[in-house]
């Protein structure tokens, strides 16, 4: 599929607060996601004629209001009753058999231009960023990620051409192939014909799509009706059932609208033929497309990568809903995006490290503990280590307020500059970590060799003491495993 247009990702908008990292994902990102054409997602529940009263208790509406709902007033125009029309329409709508989700593995990966933008910003600064927050930042918008699909050999996916549409159902892909690929094979010209003559008092309209089909006594009505059915609704219902969705309207404005639309003439001229052929209608062009190009255009694939934007507008709705479900799970817990980002960050020369509670962070500087035995350490450096160590996640202002106390007025400015210089050096060397929300902390110190050996002995003794006497071999194996885990 064509690569999605990259979006500039600004890391200045990324917050790194504990509450932000834990906040639930925005599940409304697929709110625009729709089903098949003509279907609407109806809100749950019905208006029961209740109003909310203070205190949380509901009370019914007045009798006058209730009476209006039960018995229409005389003379009221009953032509506009959308709820009644919807229920009447649903009675004639057949049950659509939904096929099970395809056996496809969905994996989300960062979109290369967006990743390069983020990696460049990280390497240009000294801040550390949460890998979890970065993963959710990429998943937040479809322009920032790609979707990698892997299918089984016995049930592959189908793709139109090298970078065309994707579907798990081949007939569905073939039925939509002309609409998605017609610009690659035909030159489309649109012109206006002579105004339609004749006195027409009514016009037929398809309720499902809102398409004006024309007067039923017009010569183009039946071909137009059959074409619309074959292109958009043949997989959902039979032709007699579709005919029940046609309504006849006696609105002069709609009649004039149909006349203007019917004047539009679209011709299709082949682009890949030595002698170009021209077709006067989409039906004829699609017939030529199916005979000439379609058999060699559809191919089976087991792995394919599509853009995030394209994944939200697939013609195969079943595959689209599968990707939507996986996206919702990945946004809550980005277990796929985080390892992918970590691998790419390492390849880009960005450091990955663990900090408090084992959380992973990304920075251009590798954190390392400061060796206090080093000589030539200034008082400011010592004060910075003591203050940051005693106050994790302190910011620069609070750090200065705690260190620069009881100073003469003429000393304050010089001490501020010296403190800023020492802090900058410590951050650039990795002795102090500055996160992107402005908080400061010291790197995690590794356990000393004697302490680590002592901890190993304690774990081994605990495992051996809990093992049964008859399971000496099992206890030895367990102790060996525990010692390895400590390393």
DSSP 8-state class, residue 196: P
Residues in the chain with pLDDT < 70? 1-8, 12-98, 372-376, 447-487
Q: What pLDDT does residue 128 have? A: 94
pLDDT score at 180: 84
Instruction: For residue 423, give both structure tokens.
Output: 């802090």
Residue 458 has what pLDDT? 63
Determine the pLDDT at residue 231.
Answer: 74
What would you measure as the largest C-alpha separation in the chain, in angstroms? 103
Find the length of the chain.
487
Cα separation, 16 vs 393, in Å, equals 11
**CA angle (389, 394, 398) in 5-degree steps:** 115
- Measured at the alpha carbon of residue 405, what is the angle toward residues 436 and 378, in degrees to the nearest 5? 70
Alpha carbon dihedral 320, 321, 325, 326, in 10-degree steps, equals: -30
- CB-side neighbour CA atoms (13 Å) of 346: 8
Neighbours of 123 (CB within 10 A): 15
Helix axes 472-486, 449-466, angle to 10 degrees: 150
**Tokens 């990304």 map to which residue?**
362
């Amino acid at each position: 599929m064509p690569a999605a247009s990259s979006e500039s990702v600004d890391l200045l908008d990324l917050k790194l607060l504990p509450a932000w990292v834990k906040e639930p994902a925005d599940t409304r990102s697929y709110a625009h996601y729709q089903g098949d054409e003509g279907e609407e997602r109806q809100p749950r529940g019905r208006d029961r004629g209740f109003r909310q009263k203070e205190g949380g208790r509901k009370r019914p509406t007045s009798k006058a209001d209730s009476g209006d709902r039960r018995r229409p007033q005389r003379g009221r125009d009953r032509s506009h009753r959308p709820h009644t029309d919807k229920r009447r329409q649903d009675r004639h709508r057949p049950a659509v058999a939904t096929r099970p989700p395809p056996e496809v593995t969905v994996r989300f990966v960062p979109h290369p231009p967006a990743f390069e933008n983020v990696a460049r910003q990280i390497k240009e600064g000294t801040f550390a960023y949460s890998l979890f927050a970065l993963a959710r930042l990429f998943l937040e918008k479809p322009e920032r990620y790609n979707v990698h699909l892997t299918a089984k050999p016995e049930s592959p996916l189908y793709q139109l051409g090298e970078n065309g549409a994707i579907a798990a159902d081949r007939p569905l892909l073939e039925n939509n192939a002309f609409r998605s690929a017609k610009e690659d094979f035909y030159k489309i010209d649109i012109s206006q014909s002579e105004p339609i003559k004749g006195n027409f008092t009514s016009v037929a309209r398809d309720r499902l799509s809102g398409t004006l089909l024309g007067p039923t006594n017009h010569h183009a009505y039946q071909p137009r009706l059959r074409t619309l059915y074959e292109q958009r609704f043949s997989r959902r219902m039979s032709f007699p059932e579709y005919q029940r969705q046609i309504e006849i309207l006696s609105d002069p404005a709609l009649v004039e609208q149909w006349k203007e639309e019917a004047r539009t003439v679209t011709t299709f001229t082949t682009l890949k033929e030595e002698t170009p052929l021209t077709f006067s209608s989409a039906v004829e062009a699609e017939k030529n497309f199916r005979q000439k190009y379609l058999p060699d255009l559809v191919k089976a694939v087991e792995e394919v990568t599509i853009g995030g934007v394209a994944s939200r507008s697939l013609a195969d709705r079943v595959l689209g809903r599968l990707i939507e479900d996986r996206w919702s799970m990945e946004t809550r817990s980005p277990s796929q995006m985080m390892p992918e980002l970590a691998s790419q960050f390492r390849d880009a020369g960005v450091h990955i490290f663990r900090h408090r509670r084992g959380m992973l962070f990304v920075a251009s500087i590798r954190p390392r503990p400061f060796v206090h035995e080093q000589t030539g350490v200034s008082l400011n450096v010592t004060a910075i280590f003591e203050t940051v160590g005693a106050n994790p996640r302190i910011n620069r202002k609070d750090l200065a307020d705690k260190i620069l106390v009881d100073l003469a007025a003429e000393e304050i400015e010089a001490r501020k500059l010296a403190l800023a210089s020492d802090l900058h050096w410590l951050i650039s060397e990795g002795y102090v970590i500055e996160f992107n929300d402005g908080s400061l902390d010291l790197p995690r110190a590794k356990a000393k060799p004697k302490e680590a050996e002592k901890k190993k002995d304690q774990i081994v003794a605990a495992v051996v003491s809990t093992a049964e006497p008859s399971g000496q071999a099992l206890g030895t194996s367990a102790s060996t495993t525990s010692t390895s885990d400590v390393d």
